[in-house]
Amino acid sequence: MTGIEELLQIPVRNTRTDPRSGAVIMNSMDKPEKLWFLERFPGLSDDEIAQLQMEYIGNIPDEFLDFLRITNGLNVMGRVLKIAGMDRDREKLAGSRVADPIRFVDGHRTRRTPKSWLFFATYTQWEDIGMAHVCMDTAADGDKHPVYCLPYNGDKILKRWDSFGSWLEEEFTRLHNAYREGKYRLVDVVPGVVQMVELHDCVLK
């Protein structure tokens, strides 16, 4: 399995750094530059990791904590995929690039989903159902915690991965290949103001 840092080392076409949050954005997808293929955020310190573990009542798998030490959340393919991170004073950083807070994403569970499932990521597109959430079973035995994709506001398992690492490698590679091969289109949500990325059908699950 590819290491997280190695996986994120993509060829860089252009890049910028947010002076307030320290976010690094690379490989713009439109002009003027609003959508970017990758948005990385400064990783968490050991003290921040300890604080996050205190705030979340439950077990956070080491594999996900290792990811947060490298990048505190991640946005991929113009935010088609958003991986949440620790909330770092969003009011202070208002207007700058920050990842979605874990506690916000985790709050979108249904009453039927087990409390041990940590919701940590969101897709804007999954097959033909639209938005979907990603969670991991933090109560699983051993070092590997299964990861599930669920429909937004639903609890049907759409796909399962053996671990956070296997999910991240498969999905990041899928979206990076779509970016490199141009298998996407930009759609105006608000003409001239807001755009979003739509993947070609061949890229969707």
Q: Answer yes or no: are the C-beta atoms of 70 and 4 closer than 8 Å.
A: yes
| Whole-angstrom distance, CA of residue 122 vs CA of residue 133 | 5
All residues at 6 or more sequence positions from 18 whose CB lies less than 8 Å from its CB, including other chains: 24, 25, 96, 97
CA torsion sign for 95, 97, 103, 105 is positive
Q: 129 — phi, psi (to 5°)?
A: -100, -5
- The continuous run of DSSP H or E covering 22 comes out as none
pLDDT tens figures, 45-79: 999 999 998 888 678 999 999 999 999 999 999 99
Q: What letter represents residue 142's amino acid?
A: G
DSSP 101: B
Mean pLDDT, consecutive 10-residue stretches, the chain (205 aa), reads: 84 91 90 87 94 83 94 94 86 72 84 91 88 92 87 91 95 94 85 77 65
Here the tokens at position 173 are 């590679």
Q: Using one digit for the tens of pLDDT, what is the confidence trace for 77-91?
A: 999 999 999 987 765
- Residue-averaged pLDDT of the chain: 87
Q: What's the whole-model pTM score?
A: 0.92
- pLDDT confidence of residue 102: 87
Q: What pLDDT score does 95 carry?
A: 63
